[in-house]
Structure 1
């Protein structure tokens, strides 16, 4: 079975059958031709998407002229995490803060008992926030120290109070083993 029956045909021949016209079947729509802009709802008149400079996790928006050591891939990952962060509520940001502190000073924050509770088997699918945290962890582990510092600097530009809590949390681990 081919997902695209017309692709299998010889490209020099015209299809012998015409695909069905536009049909609405439940939540699925089948288009006989590519959808046009009229098929999609308009954005609200006051909607303004963030610019790349607004989401930049580098000194792009700061005007410092300094070149950041962040790679292109890491920059895209950091922009993604920043966009998630800006949409999270207070409880999600608190969980992210705890995770960030744990990553900054591994082994000093969580006890063994707390680690065991995170390993429990759940009978439900993860929610979007949990999936975002998993991706965040994968990306963070691949970043260099300079890239991690650039991300913290970006967070500080967007939410200095959050980063102050982060620094306070890291300082609070001093002397722990």
Structure 2
């Protein structure tokens, strides 16, 4: 399902006046980041996918920025305890997402729809469920 026909994403991801149904030409670095993230998703346990989904929804819904920052603070490493690989991946995901343009974020969601349609569907449902909440 092309992004242009998808239910309303969220203001931050869906501001472009003309959404493209064709893949966006990405920089090599951004394309590699997205490819890497989709690869990680394929290997994550269900609980890790759930955490990623919650984080993606938090990033998509503007008034949920504070819970996102609180969630990232929860990933802090205690003395003598190295971060898990998943925690490192989530930190990289956050850094990458923050550096992507709105068009690149939309392109990531489009790629997510192709690679993990069930997760993308749940993302749309959860974002839609936040509509009208303030």
TM-score bracket for this pair, using the shorter chain length = 0.7 to 0.9
Query: What residue is the counterpart of 1:86 in the other structure?
Result: 42
**Mapping for residues 16-35 of structure 1, pairs under 5 Å:** none
Matches of 2:90 and 2:37 in 1, distance apart?
9
Q: Is 1:128 paired with 2:85?
A: yes
Matches within 5 A, 1:38-77: 66=22, 68-77=24-33
Please report how far the alpha carbon of residue 125 of structure 1 lies from its aligned counterpart in structure 2 after TM superposition: 1.7
TM-score for both structures, normalised by structure 1:
0.56
Q: Paired residue for 1:176?
A: 133
Q: Which has the larger radius of gyration?
A: 1
1:115 to 59, 70, 75: 70
Which residue of 72, 90, 104 maps to 1:147?
A: 104
Distance 1:74 1:121 in 2: 27
**Alpha-carbon offset, residue 69 of structure 1:** 3.2
Asked if the contact 2:58–2:65 (Cα under 8 Å) also holds between the matched residues in 1, the reply is: yes
- CA shift digits 1:16-50 (9 cap, x unpaired): xxxxxxxxxxxxxxxxxxxxxxxxxxxxxxxxxxx
* Runs ≥4 residues deviating over 4 A: 109-112
Identify the structure with the greater helix proportion. Answer: 2
Aligned length in residues: 112
The Cα of 1:120 is off from its aligned counterpart by 6.4
What are structure 1's unaligned runs of at least 5 residues? 1-65
